């Protein structure tokens, strides 16, 4: 069965971006980066909002000397990606398509086409998916910084009942928590 997974790094106070729009506190070390590589390798596709899509375009041409970063670039380019945007007319990138239908319709079609779980990223897109009950798992990487505001990981206007499935600590800094939506 294909699951939809929302996975992002957050500040200790629950934001994916600070009030100034930055997320420089979330850069992964090698251990965490390898974990991300392995997780993305398991996905069948990824849904992205416009802002995350623009951030991830870096990996289409990245020429990083780190073997872990090079590996991520290869994994990311191979992954089918579907971008949701109200402002873009076209997208760039390997295996990247602009969504033309609503989120629920696109997701249902994608589930029928791919093997593996489907990642979803971008706070606005994930909030829409949460309100529609489309997300099966939430995976949160909590970083030891409080930014005081910004863009929240969870939608502010929607209740989610979750069950903790797993935790893992990376070094002494970052805690990964994996939650399943209760009842699924």
Measured CA to CA, the distance from residue 28 to residue 39 in angstroms comes to 14
Kindly state the DSSP code that residue 26 receives in the 8-state scheme.
G
Q: In the prediction, which pLDDT does 10 show? A: 95
Q: In the prediction, which pLDDT does 25 show? A: 85
Q: Are 170 and 31 in contact (CB under 8 A)?
A: yes
What lies within 8 Å, CB to CB, of 104 at 6+ separation is 132, 134
Give the pLDDT of the chain (184 residues) as one tens digit per residue: 899 999 999 999 999 999 998 888 888 999 999 999 999 999 999 999 999 999 999 999 988 889 999 999 999 999 999 999 999 999 999 999 999 999 999 999 999 999 999 999 999 999 999 999 999 999 999 999 999 999 999 999 999 999 999 999 998 799 999 999 998 8
Q: In the prediction, which pLDDT does 100 show? A: 94
The count of other CB atoms within 10 Å of the CB of residue 76 is: 23
Q: In the prediction, which pLDDT does 184 show? A: 81
* Nearest alpha-carbon partner for 167 in 159, 158, 176: 176
Total-model pTM: 0.94
Structural domains in the chain, sorted by start: 4-19+26-181 (3.40.430.10)
92: left (phi over 0), alpha (psi -120 to 50) or beta: beta
């Amino acid at each position: 069965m294909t699951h939809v997974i929302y996975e992002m790094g957050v500040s200790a106070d629950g934001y994916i971006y600070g009030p100034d729009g930055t997320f420089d506190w979330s850069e992964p070390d090698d251990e965490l980066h390898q974990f991300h590589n392995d997780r993305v390798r398991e996905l069948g596709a990824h849904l992205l909002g416009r802002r995350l899509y623009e951030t991830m375009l870096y990996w289409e041409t990245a020429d990083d000397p780190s073997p872990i970063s090079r590996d991520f670039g290869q994994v990311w380019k191979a992954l089918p990606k579907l971008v949701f945007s109200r402002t873009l007319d076209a997208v760039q990138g390997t295996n990247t398509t602009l969504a033309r239908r609503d989120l629920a319709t696109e997701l249902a079609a994608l589930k029928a086409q791919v093997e593996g779980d489907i990642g979803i990223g971008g706070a606005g897109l994930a909030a829409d998916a949460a309100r529609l009950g489309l997300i099966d798992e939430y995976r949160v990487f909590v970083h030891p910084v409080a930014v005081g505001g910004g863009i929240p990981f969870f939608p502010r206007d929607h209740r989610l009942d979750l069950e903790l499935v797993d935790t893992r600590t990376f070094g002494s800094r970052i805690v990964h928590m994996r939650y399943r939506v209760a009842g699924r």
